[in-house]
Amino acid sequence: MDFGFGALKIMELASIVNEKLLESGVHGGAEIHIPLTKEYFAKVDEDLFYRNRTSETVDFIPSEGEIDVTVGNIKIKIIDIDKTRR
């Protein structure tokens, strides 16, 4: 499976949206929801963990259906749509 839409793409997208909102005079309160299948959610979750890990002694623990990330003034909610369907 091609996993071209991962953590880096999500952060890049959020950065672009944040920049455009700031240029338009919007300074906070924006929220983006990104629904992903269980498979993609798990890969993005692990990717974000390892990219942002500050200690080698911390082990990866999978998130429970939702990941919150902030980029500038944008809050991103990455959602496992397979968990929300239950």
Per residue in 9-66, pLDDT tens?
Answer: 888 888 898 899 889 988 877 888 999 999 999 999 999 999 888 888 989 999 999 9
Tell me the domain boundaries of the chain.
7-17+28-53+60-84
pLDDT attached to residue 1: 40
d(CA 38, CA 6): 13
* CA-to-CA separations, 58 to 6, 15, 64, in angstroms, rounded: 22, 27, 18
**For residue 68, pLDDT beyond 50:** yes
